[in-house]
Structure 1
Amino acid sequence: MKFIKNNLLVQIIIALVAGSILGNYLPESIVRIFVTFNSIFGNFLGFAIPLIIIGLIVPAIGNIGKGAGKLLIITTLIAYGSTLFSGLLSYGVSISTFPFLLSTENLTNLADSSKNLAPYFSIEMPAMFDVMSSLILSFLLGITISQNKFPYLEGVFNEFQTIIMTVIDKVIIPFLPLFIFGIFLNMTYSGQVFLVLDTFIKIIGVIFVMHIGLLILQYTIAGAYVGRNPFGLMKTMLPAYFTALGTQSSAATIPVTLEQAIKNKVNPKIAGFTIPLCATIHLAGSTLKIVSCAVALMLIQGQPIDPITMVGFICMLGIAMVAAPGVPGGAIMAALGVLSSILGFSNEEQSLMIALYIAMDSFGTACNVMGDGAIALVVDKINNKQNTITE
């Protein structure tokens, strides 16, 4: 029991398995208790995530020093490059394989697969800032503090960081396994898991293989750059992967991703800067999945696919992902405008995209989070070469 209590990865795996099994047997009244908890805890996460971003990024940038602006640009470019590459990879693989795999698939019942139980009650907790506002505010404050001498302001945000880390350690992480259990319990009870797997097993299989291939490639590059075993680095990041698999939120997984990145010997200051930042702007896994789902939907409905249009769509999608909130389903919501304006998706087609995306949201989020760990390794190495900060 002590091993389970002290091992977050084991707790998450147990939550995943237990939720997937018990959802078939527990009565609706019991399942709705966990749905109610998830509603309250999810609203709290929505309230806390912008504060987590400010509490981690502002002191991280401020403490780095005058090299903060340069590292910010480098990290952003790496994140966008990774997102762009994943989209192009997804398009290439999807257009090569889906025409043969999806000739008999039918999406007419997909929208009905996302019906969940309602909570007994809900407590609204509106965030003080939205995610994009908190990110921009963090940049402005952090860079200003790093470029000028504001010891009082720097001290305030360092103390605010302590408060945020206490909330993470004492509230968020302890309840994450229960939150994950509730998600999978509800999905299983509502029949989403098995219906979606039965209908879209081919799409899910191809996307999952692409995710694994992308992660291996990311860590192979990062491992070669830092001179370490990529599979050892990936193994260390597995708790973050499984946490994201359950929470379906890069932002909610920040505490675990940050902890595992530091275990990979990333400078804590660099980890505190890159992980919260990448949780918002690096959505390579989500982009991979959106592109793949869009290609699949267009093929099934007989829509023409123009390569030039798809490349433009991927480039714009990478930019749209920067504005995507790191919460469940945030990426597809940010992508709807691009799907409509460039690919001409109707409201019905957008609804199908949302349902298909949400059904596989865990895979993309887990890929995003693992990729964040690889970027942190690269940025840390770049920082060491430039001697921007010290340990």
Structure 2
Amino acid sequence: MNLVLKLIIGIIAGILVGLYAPEFIVQLVFTAQNLIGQLIKFTIPLIILFYIASGIASLPKGSGSLLGKTVGLAYGSTIIAGILAFIVASNVLPELTASTVAEASHGGTAKGFIDIQITPLFDVMTALAIAFIFGIGISATNANSLRTTLNEAKDVIEQLLSKVIIPALPFYIAGVFAEMTVDGSVFSTLKTFGIVLVLALVMHWIWITVLYVTTGLAIGKSPATLLKNMLPAYFTALGTMSSAATIPVSLRANKENEVSDGVANFTVPLCASIHLSGSTITIVTCATAVMIMTPGLSLPGLTGMLGFIFMLGVTMIAAPGAPGGAVMAALGLLASMLGFTDAALALMIALYMAQDSFGTACNVTGDGAIALWVDKFAGGEGLTPITDKE
């Protein structure tokens, strides 16, 4: 929660700078925003490359159909959640935010002292292609030295995220909100924030309910009892903001739901890495809101969003093990597929981080439904747990 508080302080500081600070302070804040933004854009393809390639290369051998069932169920859940989130958000948000968006006005503009461009080594789609080629190739050939190199490279990027980029986000957000204050759009944006966050939270619970009602009916157990047994995992994730840190509690909750030990030990850690339905709901909802709020961005129809949602489900595998990791992994797709500007990406970060703990709690609770389905289809197979992440 400390990072969320820091982001709130950054938003308040940015508004105060935009309203009252002398011009050279505003320029200094804009300069910091530019430098951090360029570093983020440079790092995004590296996140996707090393996290996805490492994840694919580390998938266990000898797990047979159980691995395929788990991955298929997790990906299907994530995609369906994203599609439903877009259908709801694209129909509800234009009505709820129409007045606040109309209130935005445009005042002056300001620039930083310098405008540095750090060109990424390759674009997002190239990173995805390389990640799949090397990930599948390493897994197929059992190239342990390359697997070790990938894991070490992933660790380097994770250190960059946890020690540099994530701590710098409040300054980046402060610059964005200072810019919005200068151009007169900040207060209408803040009004929309609350609407979007409430809608995302409601959709989390709707999706959890859908998962457990359908699962309970399919396996002949009470959905209310199944969900009640998962509540300790939900509230643990809410407090830790980490799927990985919640794994012990989630394992105990799944076993109380009578998931066999082998299936629980296999699916819970794996789903902590690949099943991010709650994060997907939030990203799709926030992206819809940002496209509505941002001049120059247009809201596509469902067919136009399907490609983004399908790719988002894959990219969630690259979510780093840090608060806000899911949205950091998604920034490249938002920019390349939906045309998000730097300001729009910063809004996404702020919106997502404000509810990160709720998205994580939805992810973890949804993992319990996946485990029940895998147990129904595959029975108890004694398998070794997968390496986890947030």
TM-score of Structure 1 vs Structure 2, range by shorter chain: 0.5 to 0.7
8 Å CA contact retained: 2:11, 2:173: yes
Confirm whether residue 334 of structure 1 aligns to residue 337 of structure 2.
yes
Structure 1 pair 361–169 and aligned structure 2 pair: CA distance change class (3 A) = closer
Alignment of 1:227-242 (within 5 A): 227-228=227-228, 232-238=232-238
8 Å CA contact retained: 1:219, 1:230: no
Which of the numbers 5, 15, 20 marks the counterpart of 2:11? Answer: 20
Matched residue type, 1:13: V
Partner of 1:126: 121
Structure 1 pair 281–92 and aligned structure 2 pair: CA distance change class (3 A) = closer
Structure 1 pair 218–156 and aligned structure 2 pair: CA distance change class (3 A) = farther
CA distance in 2, matches of 1:294, 1:33: 25
Confirm whether residue 262 of structure 1 aligns to residue 261 of structure 2.
no
8 Å CA contact retained: 1:20, 1:184: yes
CA distance in 2, matches of 1:193, 1:64: 56
Partner of 2:350: 362
CA distance in 1, matches of 2:277, 2:227: 27
The alpha-carbon deviation at position 82 of structure 1 amounts to 0.8
The alpha-carbon deviation at position 51 of structure 1 amounts to 0.8
Partner of 2:57: 58
The alpha-carbon deviation at position 372 of structure 1 amounts to 4.0
Question: Deviations along 1:277-328, whole A, 9 cap, x unmatched?
Answer: 4569973223334556677899xxxx9x9xxxx9xx3255233322356343
Matched residue type, 1:286: I
Structure 1 pair 168–268 and aligned structure 2 pair: CA distance change class (3 A) = farther
Partner of 1:252: none
Question: Deviations along 1:135-189, whole A, 9 cap, x unmatched?
Answer: 64377448x64xxxx5x43x34653464256335644323344222222221233
CA distance in 2, matches of 1:296, 1:141: 43
CA distance in 2, matches of 1:329, 1:212: 24
CA distance in 1, matches of 2:199, 2:265: 31
Q: TM-score, normalised by structure 1?
A: 0.63
Partner of 2:219: none
CA distance in 1, matches of 2:278, 2:132: 12
Confirm whether residue 207 of structure 1 aligns to residue 196 of structure 2.
yes
Which of the numbers 280, 288, 305 marks the counterpart of 2:285? Answer: 288
CA distance in 1, matches of 2:248, 2:164: 22
Partner of 1:246: none
CA distance in 2, matches of 1:357, 1:121: 18
Alignment of 1:17-166 (within 5 A): 17-23=8-14, 24-25=16-17, 27-28=25-26, 30-31=28-29, 32-33=31-32, 35-40=34-39, 42-60=41-59, 62=61, 64-94=63-93, 97-98=95-96, 102=98, 106=102, 109=105, 117=112, 121-127=116-122, 130-134=126-130, 136-137=132-133, 140-141=136-137, 145=140, 150=141, 152-153=142-143, 155-156=144-145, 158-160=147-149, 162-164=151-153, 166=155
Q: TM-score, normalised by structure 2?
A: 0.63
8 Å CA contact retained: 1:321, 1:331: no
CA distance in 1, matches of 2:310, 2:93: 24
How many residue pairs get aligned? The number is 330
8 Å CA contact retained: 2:233, 2:361: no
8 Å CA contact retained: 2:35, 2:116: yes
Which of the numbers 183, 198, 210 marks the counterpart of 2:187? Answer: 198
CA distance in 2, matches of 1:265, 1:182: 35
Partner of 2:302: 314
The alpha-carbon deviation at position 211 of structure 1 amounts to 0.5
Partner of 2:206: 217
8 Å CA contact retained: 2:85, 2:281: yes
Structure 1 pair 286–131 and aligned structure 2 pair: CA distance change class (3 A) = farther
CA RMSD, aligned part only?
Answer: 4.7
8 Å CA contact retained: 1:53, 1:138: no
8 Å CA contact retained: 1:56, 1:272: no
8 Å CA contact retained: 1:211, 1:285: yes
Structure 1 pair 238–138 and aligned structure 2 pair: CA distance change class (3 A) = farther
CA distance in 1, matches of 2:202, 2:305: 21
Matched residue type, 1:284: I
Question: Deviations along 1:167-215, whole A, 9 cap, x unmatched?
Answer: 3564432334422222222123323599444224554333222111012
CA distance in 2, matches of 1:118, 1:61: 51
CA distance in 2, matches of 1:173, 1:390: 28
Unaligned ranges ≥5, structure 1: 1-8, 242-256, 337-349
Q: Which deviates further from its counterpart, 203-212 or 50-59? A: 203-212
CA distance in 2, matches of 1:190, 1:262: 41
Which of the numbers 292, 307, 311 marks the counterpart of 1:323? Answer: 311
